[in-house]
Amino acid sequence: MKNFPIGKLSEITGCKIPTIRYYEDEGLLQRPYRTEGNQRRYNSEHLKRLKFIMHSKGLGFTLGEVRELIGLSKNEPVGHEADLIVEKHLQSVELKIARLQSLSKELKNMLDACSEGETDGCMVLEAIFDHSLCQNEH
């Protein structure tokens, strides 16, 4: 497939048309060739870049990080700059996981206290109103 319209690019990648246009506006995806009728025509390089963007987003990278990674992919040699971006992202993910585990534990504690019937009121609502009743920092 040499050149194809935006609808086909969307179909191939599963990326919505407005998102493709947004990535173009943000400079993440190179502007495509336009026909005399002003229709966008994409090629295999657009497809490759869009798949890169979508995979990066699926891994949780921000658009800023995706932009950095794209910039690095254009330079030879890349060195360890990409590693540093991934390492920083991994630290962020691990911090989020720790916070979510703490949150999960606290929510379980709230439900356990309610199901045991230790109070006349609902412990869930009481704990939400009064953070000091929480057993974990979240």
Which residue would you say has higher pLDDT here, 116 or 71? 71
Cis preceding-peptide flag for 77 (omega within 30 of 0): yes
Structure tokens, 50: 């869009």
Mean pLDDT of the chain: 87
In this prediction, residue 119 carries a pLDDT of 54
DSSP string, 21-58: HHHHHTTSSPPPEE-TT--EEB-HHHHHHHHHHHHHHH
Q: Where are the domains of the chain?
A: 1-75, 79-138
Range 1-75 has CATH code 3.90.280.10: no
pTM: 0.76
Most distant pair of Cα atoms in the chain: their distance: 74
SS3 for 61? Answer: coil
In this prediction, residue 97 carries a pLDDT of 96
